Amino acid sequence: MQPTNRSSRILLPVKMWFVYLTLFVALFLNYIPTGHLPAVPDFVALVLAFWCVREPLKIGIGAGFVFGLLVDIGVGAAMGQHAFAYVLLTYAANELSRRVMWFTPVEQALHVLPLLFMSQVLMVVVRLMAGAEFPGWWMFFGCFVAALLWIPLHYVLLLPQYRPVERDENRPI
Amino acid sequence: MVGHSTPPFFKRGPAPLAKLVFFVIVSLGLLVSDLNLRYLDAFRQGLSVLAYPLQMAAATPADFVRNASNYFASLVRLQIENKDLKARQLQGAERLLRLDQIEQENRHLRALLGARERQAVKSVVAEIMYTAKDPFSRTVILDKGAQAGIEAGQAVVDDAGVIGQITRVFPMQAELTLLTDKDQAIPVMIVRSGLRAVLFGSGNGLMELRYLAANADIQPGDKVVTSGLDGVFLAGLPVATVARVERDQAQTFARIPCLPAAGVEQFSHVLVLGQRESLPPRPPEPELINKGKSGKGRKARAGKE
């Protein structure tokens, strides 16, 4: 597997413990009580989308549901609110995986942005239907920040899979 | 295609679309049962035990920032605050000294009248740790929970008045819903006219007196205190001040936005008041003609209070 499908570098297979470790780190970042600060990205959604695009056969809707519930409990949201949004997010990311992998990280971020935005919109719609107040447009800024974070994330999360470059005259790959 | 292991041929599990439909239904079911039926509090308690260590770890940066800002608070500001507090204590001392005597007198008079005594309740001092992250509600997290004897439904006040009510209790923390939350309501009384009403949060940091007739005796600047009819809040705690009164002939009710009296949206120490003793039982209901309508009647009466 390569960093993107056009790249000629071959990566080591992903280790599942590393996937879950990064998800828990993202969960930790989501739990940091930033209150109602604008433009705080949803880290769990971002990391879930990343792994669902990278490894559609290994991680998917089930993980989205479980981590959604954990976020719901941690931030005091309605039970199932994040779970619902993440389930649809992970499904869409899994489905998009084959297409997205052909693009450079910047273009990938542009593909993921609508997904993250959609998950925010879903949560707002669900809560508004339940009679909550509209929190303001600032809560949508987070997904733009998250899309920007995709680019550094693309290198950071793949670091354990890179292997040293060995030049071999007989094997050009 | 993916990784170095071959994708499994035969053991594929359910189709993605089937999984999607299943999980969407489950999460929507959770949402409905949590928001409308409140069935899931035990489930939430259980899972919160799992999330608690991570939550505590995540709260440390916030703690650090708060402590650091305290640490660097300038000496001058602290001196001014100290002076101010001393002056206020002196002012308060005189009134406190009289209060004992007045309370004694009040008890005697009430005994003479045969009225129920006003209750003194036990209370717990807690600190607001941080605002809950959920952007749809106005809740804050307190640093004391079930282990300090806090229960759901208790009233919370600060030095200036009521700020809210405990809605969820975890072992070490409690969630306090502020009065300005859209779903929060509190039965109140206008001090000047003795008018009873219900005060609702309006969600934008203000509160609103609803269901008061357009010609009700109310003016901007009126003080609003708890009426104590709910059996949760003690009577007479300051809640809000009427900001303005909008009377529209086309509407049955006046629109009356109110400003909270307490520092509802500030971080500070708060007092969690103990549960009140229950009110005396309601007088027996008059003979019901039709049993089926009893539920409706009760609702209508609750609305009138």
The 10s digit of each residue's pLDDT in B244-296 is 888 877 778 888 889 888 777 676 788 888 776 666 677 777 766 555 444 44
CB contact under 8 A, B28 and A80: yes
* Greater model confidence, B304 or B212: B212
* Residue B237 identity: L
Q: pTM above 0.80?
A: no
The answer as to whether A170 is a domain residue is no
Q: How many CB pairs under 8 A join A and B?
A: 148
The full 3-state SS of chain B, as one line of letters, equals CCCCCCCCCCCCCCCHHHHHHHHHHHHHHHHHHHHHHCCCHHHHHHHHHHHHHHHHHHHHHHHHHHHHHHHCCCHHHHHHHHHHHHHHHHHHHHHHHHHHHHHHHHHHHHHHHCCCCCCCCCEEEEEEEEECCCCCCCEEEECCCHHHCCCCCCEEECCCCEEEEEEEECCCCEEEEECCCCCCEEEEEECCCCCEEEEEECCCCCEEEECCECCCCCCCCCEEEECCCCCCCCCCCEEEEECCCECCCCCCECEEEEEECCCCCCCCEEEEECCCCCCCCCCCCCCCCCHHHHHHHHHHHHHHC
Q: What total of structural domains would you count in chain B?
A: 1
B49 close contact with A: CB closer than 8 A: no
User: Residue A56 above 80 pLDDT?
Assistant: yes
ipTM of model: 0.86
Per-residue tokens: B45: 């308690």
Position A102 scores a pLDDT of 92
B131 close contact with A: CB closer than 8 A: yes
Q: What total of structural domains would you count in chain A?
A: 1
CB contact under 8 A, B133 and A91: no
Q: CA nearest A127 in B: which residue?
A: B136
CATH code: domain of residue B152: 2.40.10.340
The full 3-state SS of chain A, as one line of letters, equals CCCCCCCCCCCCCCCHHHHHHHHHHHHHHHHCCCCCCCCCCCHHHHHHHHHHHHCCCCCCHHHHHHHHHHHHHHHCCCCCHHHHHHHHHHHHHHHHHHHHCCCCHHHHHHHHHHHHHHHHHHHHHHHHHCCCCCCCHHHHHHHHHHHHHHHHHHHHCCHHHCCCCCCCCCCCC
Task: List the single residue in A76, A81, A135 with the smallest CB-CB distance to B175.
Answer: A76
The answer as to whether B282 is a domain residue is no
Q: Which of residues 147-206 of B touch A (CB under 8 A)?
A: 168, 175, 182-183, 203-204
The answer as to whether B161 is a domain residue is yes
CB contact under 8 A, A80 and B130: no
Task: List the single residue in B7, B28, B141 with the smallest CB-CB distance to A84.
Answer: B28
CB contact under 8 A, B16 and A36: no
Q: Is residue B235 a contact partner of residue B193, using CB atoms and an 8 Å limit? A: no
- List the domain range (segments joined by +) for residue B231: 123-277
The answer as to whether A5 is a domain residue is no
The answer as to whether B215 is a domain residue is yes
Mean pLDDT, chain B, integer:
79
Dump pLDDT digits (tens) for B159-217: 788 888 998 888 778 889 888 888 888 899 998 888 888 999 887 778 888 888 888 88
The answer as to whether B66 is a domain residue is no
Dump pLDDT digits (tens) for A125-165: 998 888 777 888 888 888 999 999 999 999 999 998 888 77
CB contact under 8 A, A94 and B16: yes
pLDDT-derived band at B63, boundaries 50, 70, 90: confident
The answer as to whether B52 is a domain residue is no
Position B24 scores a pLDDT of 94
CB contact under 8 A, A91 and B16: yes
Residues of A in contact with B134 (CB under 8 A): 75-78
Work out the percent of chain B whose per-residue pLDDT is above 70: 84
The answer as to whether B128 is a domain residue is yes
* Dihedral sign, Cα of residue A73, residue B145, residue B55, residue A118: positive
pLDDT-derived band at A48, boundaries 50, 70, 90: very high
CB contact under 8 A, A75 and B134: yes
- List the domain range (segments joined by +) for residue A67: 16-161
B130 close contact with A: CB closer than 8 A: yes
Query: Averaging pLDDT over each range in A51-55, B32-36, B113-117, which range is the top one?
Result: A51-55
CB contact under 8 A, B20 and A34: no
The answer as to whether A75 is a domain residue is yes
